């Protein structure tokens, strides 16, 4: 079928829409299509210039980084190579939470966007960033989507988790109109009953997407349903996957059910960190927007960059967030380092992957249907103002308890308490659900806080 609207949206409507809102998405996207082919030395020179700008601004206009540099006897002029970044301390989630005001700059550019995220550790983080950072995030996402053959103007089915709807009718209408104009259809991937999966298949057939953007585990569950019931009636469609690790066995069924799979890795704090290209040999990092470190802690406590093939913890420096700098922010995720070997695609961007720390366990509702545990991450991101930590536990008897550490102790406000129960009733129908207030939620032996815990029966030793 001849598609006239897609090219019109790509060539005229979308560029005009972005320009009218003061967003240089298209010029930045064109620039990134050039820089991705630069040599590694050129890309690192670019990073160094941006890092020096960030450090200078943070030193002059935030109390936190002025104190950090002063405590180490450093000045912004001392940063003459990217190696000097390792002289600064890592920024863990507790420090991010307690230094928000101290990291917020007193001079332009000021923050214009504020977000809350629970991440994979069940402990929310508030992030503030300026317009420049937002513009680079948008352009970087579109570039990576292009590697997966997702072009501006394509019909895109987003098989994604749903946040609680906006309270304002105007906001809800605006979001819906925006999605229709951009040809985005959103289908909730969290409920995974046969009825819910069949609904997703029906929507896929009706909408005929040119690309699918999905949670990795959600896409895998839908793919198995399609294959088990012989439902595929469409041509190959690229599938862009995120939010959870894409396991090899899941990739296989997704590609059989839909088409080529492209893994991405990101977090709300900085958005897209790495993406697969058409070669599928690791994830190219977004070097023009951030510095990605993969760090290993040796037995003597020394922290060093991971060698090729080693697994280490991911730390991010957002090079364009001058409003509330996040320098060497530890995401809590583990990734495999690739070293400096170039990719055969010709792009100079350093690669990492696979990502080892993005696994969320699957819950079951009262009828035994699978429910993606990430749904509670979505809920908790909207409740960061009333609680500090949470963990969802499904007991052996099928009941579910949400452990919560409220802000300031005590109990949650009635409105938040009711929202949690309504959310649980929607995604875990007829399941016994309760909220338990706790003083803390301990980390695992690996230093992670599991968002979802599904209790398993003890294994009986064989005679």
For tokens 């950090």, what's the residue? 68
3 state DSSP class of 2: coil
CB 390 within 8 A of CB 404: yes
Share of the chain above pLDDT 90, in %: 60
- The radius of gyration of the chain from alpha carbons, rounded to an integer in Å, stands at 22
Share of the chain above pLDDT 70, in %: 92
Q: Is 358 a residue whose pLDDT tops 60?
A: no
Residues 6+ apart with CB under 8 A from 171: none
CB 303 within 8 A of CB 90: yes
Q: How much is the pLDDT for 360? A: 53
- β-strand 303-305 against 290-297: which pairing, if any? antiparallel
CB 353 within 8 A of CB 251: no
Cα separation, 373 vs 266, whole angstroms: 18
Q: How confident is the model at residue 463 (pLDDT cuts 50, 70, 90)?
A: very low
Q: Is 148 a residue whose pLDDT tops 80?
A: yes
Q: How far is CA 359 from the centre of its chain?
A: 13
For the segment 8-26, the average pLDDT, to the nearest whole number, is 92
pLDDT higher at 256 or 174: 256
DSSP 189-246: -SEESHHHHHHHHHHHHHH--SEEEEEHHHHHHHHHHHHHTT---S---EEEEESS--
- β-strand 290-297 against 271-276: which pairing, if any? unpaired
CB 348 within 8 A of CB 235: no
Cα separation, 378 vs 399, whole angstroms: 21
* pLDDT tens digits, 91-141: 998 899 899 999 999 899 999 999 887 555 556 788 999 999 999 999 999
For the segment 81-87, the average pLDDT, to the nearest whole number, is 96
pLDDT higher at 124 or 441: 441
CB 274 within 8 A of CB 283: yes
3 state DSSP class of 126: strand
Q: Which of 196-210, 394-408, 434-448 has the lowest mean pLDDT?
A: 434-448
Q: How far is CA 1 from the centre of its chain?
A: 35
For the segment 206-220, the average pLDDT, to the nearest whole number, is 93
pLDDT higher at 399 or 358: 399
Nearest to 322 by CA among 69, 95, 116, 135: 135
3 state DSSP class of 322: coil
CB 21 within 8 A of CB 334: no
Domains and CATH numbers, the chain: 362-454 (3.30.300.30)
* pLDDT tens digits, 376-393: 766 776 776 788 778 899
3 state DSSP class of 320: coil
The separation between the first and the last C-alpha atoms of the chain, rounded to the nearest angstrom, is 65
- Burial environment of residue 199 by CB neighbours within 10 A (0 to 12, 13 to 18, 19 or more): middle
Residue 453: strand pairing partners: 393
What strands, in cross-sheet order, belong to the sheet with 387-394?
Answer: 433-437, 400-406, 387-394, 452-454
Instruction: Please give the DSSP secondary-structure letter assigned to residue 114.
Output: E
Q: Tell me what the pLDDT averaged over the chain comes to.
A: 89
Instruction: Please give the DSSP secondary-structure letter assigned to residue 10.
Output: I
């Amino acid at each position: 079928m001849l598609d006239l609207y897609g090219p019109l949206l790509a060539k005229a409507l979308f560029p005009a829409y972005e320009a009218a809102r003061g967003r240089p998405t298209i010029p930045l996207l064109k620039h990134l299509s050039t820089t991705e082919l630069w040599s590694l030395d050129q890309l690192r020179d670019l990073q160094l210039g941006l890092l020096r700008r960030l450090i200078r601004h943070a030193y002059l206009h935030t109390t936190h980084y002025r104190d950090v540099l002063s405590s180490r006897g450093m000045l912004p002029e001392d940063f003459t190579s990217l190696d000097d970044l390792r002289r600064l301390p890592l920024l863990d989630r507790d420090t991010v939470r307690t230094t928000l005001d101290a990291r917020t700059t007193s001079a332009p550019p000021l923050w214009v966007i504020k977000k809350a995220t629970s991440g994979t550790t069940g402990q929310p983080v508030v992030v503030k960033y300026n317009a420049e950072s937002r513009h680079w995030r948008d352009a970087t996402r579109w570039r990576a989507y292009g590697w997966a053959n997702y072009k501006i103007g394509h019909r895109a089915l987003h098989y994604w988790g749903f946040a609680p709807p906006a309270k304002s009718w105007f906001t809800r209408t605006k979001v819906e109109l925006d999605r229709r104009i951009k040809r985005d259809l959103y289908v909730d991937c969290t409920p995974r009953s046969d009825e819910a999966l069949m609904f997703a298949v029906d929507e896929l057939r009706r909408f005929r997407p040119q690309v699918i953007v999905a949670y990795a585990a959600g896409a895998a569950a839908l793919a198995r349903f399609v294959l088990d019931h012989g439902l595929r009636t469409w041509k190959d469609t690229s599938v862009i996957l995120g939010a959870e690790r894409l396991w090899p066995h899941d990739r296989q069924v997704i590609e059989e059910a839909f088409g080529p799979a492209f893994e991405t890795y990101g977090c709300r704090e900085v958005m897209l960190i790495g993406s697969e290209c058409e070669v599928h040999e690791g994830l190219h990092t977004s070097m023009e927007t951030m510095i990605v470190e993969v760090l290993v802690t040796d037995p003597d406590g020394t922290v060093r960059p991971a060698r090729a093939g080693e697994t280490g913890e991911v730390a991010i420096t957002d090079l364009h967030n001058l409003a509330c700098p996040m320098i060497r922010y530890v995401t809590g995720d583990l990734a495999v380092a690739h070293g400096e070997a170039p990719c055969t695609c010709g792009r100079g961007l350093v690669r990492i992957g696979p990502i080892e720390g993005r696994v969320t366990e699957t819950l079951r509702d009262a009828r035994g249907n699978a429910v993606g545990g990430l749904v509670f991450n979505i809920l908790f991101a909207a409740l960061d103002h009333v609680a500090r930590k949470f963990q969802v536990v499904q007991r052996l008897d099928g009941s579910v308890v949400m452990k919560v550490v409220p802000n300031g102790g005590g109990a949650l406000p009635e409105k938040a308490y009711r929202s949690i129960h309504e959310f649980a009733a929607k995604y875990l129908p007829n399941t016994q659900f309760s909220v338990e207030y706790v003083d803390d939620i301990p980390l695992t032996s690996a230093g992670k806080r599991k968002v979802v815990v599904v209790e398993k029966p003890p294994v009986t030793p064989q005679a």
